[in-house]
Amino acid sequence: MNRKSLVSIADYSEEDILRLIGVAEIFEKNPNRKLLEGKVCATLFFEPSTRTRLSFETAVNRMGGRIIGFSDAATTSSSKGETLKDTIMMVSNYADLIIMRHHLEGAARYASEVTGVPIINAGDGANQHPTQTMLDIYSIYKTQGTLENLEITMVGDLKYGRTVHSLITGMSHFNPVFHFVAPDELKIPDLYKNFCDKKGIRYHEYTDFSEDVINRSDIIYMTRVQRERFTDLMEYEKVKNVYILRNSMLSNSKDNLRILHPLPRVNEIAYDVDSNPKAYYIEQAKNGVFARQAIICDVLGIE
Amino acid sequence: MVKKKELQVAALKNGTAIDHIPVGQLFKVVSLLGIEYLETPVTIGYNFDSKKMGKKGIIKISDKFFEQNEINRISLIAPTVNLNIIRDYEVVEKKQVSLPDEVSGIVKCNNPKCITNNEPMQTRFQVIDKENVTLRCHYCEVKIKKEDIELK
């Protein structure tokens, strides 16, 4: 049996991503297949994340698997001072698969080293959230019919936004052009620009969220600009309304443009965008179940 | 008139002489090489005059010959150091330190939210840029530049 954990989107090659998209498509046509009959999946949420947990548990349930776990570390022995290693080894006695979210960065990598049971990282602090990235990529594929040669605009908090960083890594195999739209305080770190340079990926940076860049885009990936990220609150007041997408800004956009957002949104997408057929963020979340079904089968070696 | 230079410490018969250690790193080098646990005679020289460096540190260790992987432990803090292997008062070999591909257990991750700072476990870093000395934490993936490297 092929047992491999998924800790970071960088663990996936181009072929892996394309294979998983193919599997996710099959699940989308028929999500209820009893592939996990007799299997126990643990969802260990050391940090609460209702949205992600429900998506994973739906994926497991639709495949007929059983679930054990917890949704908040306050009710577990880690609140009594048990090490992560001990918790993981204990759960490894019970489960065939461990899906975990943790507030500490690197927790999933470490867990994957202390147990032979496959680990799926459902978010480790600000570091990685690879299943989110897979559902983002699957959504891009579904709406564009391809992953190749797309113009992808990322808007908002590009400095701390882990979904942005992972999406850059995941899409780097497919010759994209990136447009990075962010205030100076939250612009894309040099690290990711260097990564693009090394891979020969074209990118442009803007502080203005102009119609010009919107009209070039195949995908607009919106993120939240959070007040607590700013050291200078004056600066926040200046920019907080600059990166809001309104329906009127989309009038000359491409027909194939789709707007993505990892959710939850606050005010960065105006509600008048919701009725525009180019708004895709709610369906995007639905794709998460299919992408996660594909990933679960992949780490368990189920064809 | 040329005055013969006086040796600042006694010559070594057999062992390893580590020269040109930046003075600020001398005691870190001592600790990384585990010199305090040796039982053979050791001379540690601090703030010696150096034409090349102004001030330097030296360490002379009798009857001790390091393995390359032991030597490489100091490459992070003192990459320019030379080691002279001495047998019967003669330098028989010169060794240079070189940065390994991976560094385990020596460096502290400077991300407070990294799992390595919250679990009883070893740190592990990949050396992603040997020229400029940049490390990446194997766990939290934070990149650490040379000037920010902190030893455990």
Report the C-alpha gap between A279 and A261 in whole angstroms.
9
pLDDT at A227 over 70: yes
Closest-CA residue in chain B for A78?
B119
Contact between A83 and B143 using a beta-carbon 8 Å cutoff: no
Say whether A106 and B143 touch across the interface (CB within 8 A): no
Q: What is the mean pLDDT of chain B?
A: 89
Instruction: Write out chain A residues lying below 8 Å of B139, CB-based.
Output: 105-107, 109-110
Q: What is the dihedral of CA A185, A190, A192, A193, to 10 degrees?
A: 110
Q: Report the residue from B113, B139, B143 with minimal CB separation from A110.
A: B139
Q: Token digits for A97?
A: 């698969």
Q: Which of B57, B52, B73 is nearest to B25 (CA)?
A: B57
Is B5's pLDDT higher than 70? no
Residue A235 — very low, low, confident or very high, per pLDDT cuts 50/70/90?
confident
Fold match flag (B15-96 vs B102-151): no
Across the interface, of B111, B119, B142, the residue whose CB is closest to A110 is B119
Is residue A43's pLDDT more than 80? yes
Contact yes or no for B115 and A107 at CB 8 A:
yes
Looking at the complex, report in whole angstroms how far the Cα of residue A7 sits from the nearest Cα belonging to chain B. 10
Contact A106 B115 (CB under 8 A): yes
Asked whether residue A1 carries a pLDDT value surpassing 50, the answer given is: no
Whole-number Å distance between alpha carbons of B76 and B72 = 8
Which residue, A245, A215, A230, A137, is CA-closest to A184? A230
The string of DSSP codes covering A80-134 is GT--HHHHHHHHHTT-SEEEEEESSBTHHHHHHHH-SS-EEEEEETTTB-HHHHH
Residues of A whose CB is below 8 A from B143:
191
Query: What confidence tens digit (pLDDT) does each residue in B104-143 have?
Result: 988 999 999 999 999 999 999 999 988 888 999 999 999 9
Q: What does the alpha-carbon distance between residue A95 and residue A79 come to, in Å, rounded to a whole number? A: 21
Average pLDDT estimate for A106-135: 96
Mean pLDDT of the residues in chain A: 93
Strands, DSSP E only, in A9-95? 40-45, 66-70
Q: Which residues neighbour B14 within 8 Å (Cβ) at sequence distance 6 or greater?
A: B62, B63, B86, B87, B88
Name the residue facing B121 among A102, A110, A125 (closest C-beta): A110
Inter-chain CB proximity B119 and A83 less than 8 Å: yes
> Residue A237 pLDDT more than 70?
yes
What's the mean pLDDT in B5-13? 74
Instruction: Output the pLDDT for position A143.
Output: 97
pLDDT at residue B146, rounded to an integer: 85
Verify whether the Cβ–Cβ distance B137 to A106 is below 8 Å.
Answer: yes
pLDDT of residue A2: 42
Of B110, B111, B115, which to mutate for an interface test with A (greatest number of A Cβ within 10 Å)? B115
Inter-chain residue contact B139 with A103, CB threshold 8 Å: no
User: In terms of CA atoms, which chain B residue is nearest residue A189?
Assistant: B143
Tell me how close the Cα of A211 comes to any Cα of chain B, in angstroms: 35
State the smallest CA–CA distance between residue A101 and chain B in angstroms: 13
Q: What tens digit of pLDDT does each residue of B80-96 get?
A: 788 999 999 999 999 88
Please indicate whether, in this complex, the C-beta atoms of B113 and A84 are within 8 angstroms of each other: no
CB nearest B118 (choices: A104, A128, A191): A104
B8 pLDDT band, cuts 50/70/90, is: low
What domains, with CATH codes, occur in chain A? Answer: 31-128 (3.40.50.1370), 131-285 (3.40.50.1370)
| A84 contact residues in B (CB cutoff 8 A) | 115, 119
Residue A4 — pLDDT band, cuts 50, 70, 90?
A: confident
**Mean per-residue pLDDT for A162-189?**
95
Contact yes or no for A83 and B120 at CB 8 A: yes
The pLDDT of residue A232 is above 90: no
Q: Among all residues of A, which ones are annotated catalytic?
A: 51-52, 80, 101, 129
Residues of A in contact with B119 (CB under 8 A): 83-85, 110
Option in A84, A106, A191 nearest B140 (CB): A106
Distances (CA, A) of A172 to A99, A154, A178, A199, A282: 26, 14, 10, 7, 25
Q: What is the pLDDT of residue A268?
A: 93
- Residues of chain A above pLDDT 70, percent: 98
pLDDT digits (tens, 9 = 90+) for A49-102: 998 999 999 999 999 999 999 998 877 767 778 899 999 999 999 999 999 999
Topology (CATH) of B102-151 = SH3 type barrels. (2.30.30)
**A162 has pLDDT over 60:** yes
Residues from chain B that touch A127, judged by Cβ atoms under 8 A, are 140-141
Residues of B in contact with A103 (CB under 8 A): 113
pLDDT tens across B31-65, in order?
989 999 999 999 999 999 988 889 999 999 999 99
Average pLDDT of span A278-283:
95
Q: Do A125 and B119 touch (CB under 8 A)?
A: no
Q: What's the fold here for domain B15-96? A: Alpha-Beta Plaits (3.30.70)
Mutate to test the interface with A, among B109, B116, B121, B140 (most CBs of A within 10 A): B140
Q: Give domain limits for chain B.
A: 15-96, 102-151
Mean pLDDT calculated for residue range A23-36: 96
CA distance A127 to chain B (A): 6
